[in-house]
Structure 1
């Protein structure tokens, strides 16, 4: 015998589905999690914090915009693949380009920035800005 669901049961079921479905962009990739402001820890010494802000906006066309280390993101791409969402983008300090790549991991961001003109590769972490 079939039993009809009451309206309150339907609402609970729909709420549960909405909470567990990952929204997709126009080209079928998840944009949840990366958009927004992040505090990047650039310190090489854990006792001496050195933090800068990063703002990321993922476009439905796979583009990345925003800012990193007080510089506007000039060009960038993002992709959700192999169970993770990652970005790559380029900024500049006026003397040369900085190439950055980063991935979401456990609610934070792990990244690295390469500046050929300064001969360094820097690994960093970020947490959601408050």
Structure 2
């Protein structure tokens, strides 16, 4: 019998520092409910990237548990935000300098597909 286990050490690998340069900054997220609806833009700010963790704000609320995985040839993000209805689970992939993501609200019972483009990259001070 063959047993395959995931190594916790491998899961803690450090994300390339150039990744922070591609993510940190302000993004405009189009949260329209359907493809034919008018654009509904909100700000997504990634403030810090440390290893596989990130912090910031999404739709004017703090990001919780921001995680990054770049092990599959693309940059994948996941995080949680909250409003009065409860938590929202978000996931996105960075492709060609843009994000394609989804937000799942348990309290409001919906899954929203969204796209984001870079508004303002971070600047070195």
**Alignment equivalent of 2:23, drawn from 26, 29, 34:** 34
Q: Which has the higher strand share?
A: 2
Which entry has the higher C-alpha Rg, 1 or 2? 1
Q: Mapping of 1:28-107 within 5 angstroms?
A: 28-29=15-16, 30-31=18-19, 32-43=21-32, 44-46=34-36, 48-107=38-97
Q: How far has the Cα of 1:81 moved from its partner?
A: 1.7
Taking structure 1 as the reference length, what is the TM-score of the superposition? Answer: 0.72
Moved over 3 A (4+): none
Higher-helix-fraction structure: 1
Higher RCO structure (Cα 8 Å, ≥6 apart): 2
Gap regions ≥5 residues in structure 1: 1-25
Q: Is contact 1:58-1:78 (8 Å) kept?
A: no
Q: Distance in 2 between matches of 1:58 and 1:84?
A: 19
**Structure 2 length-normalised TM:** 0.75
Query: Is 1:122 aligned to residue 112 of structure 2?
Result: yes
Q: CA deviation at 1:95?
A: 2.5
Aligned to 2:98: 108
Quote the RMSD (CA, aligned, Å).
Answer: 1.9
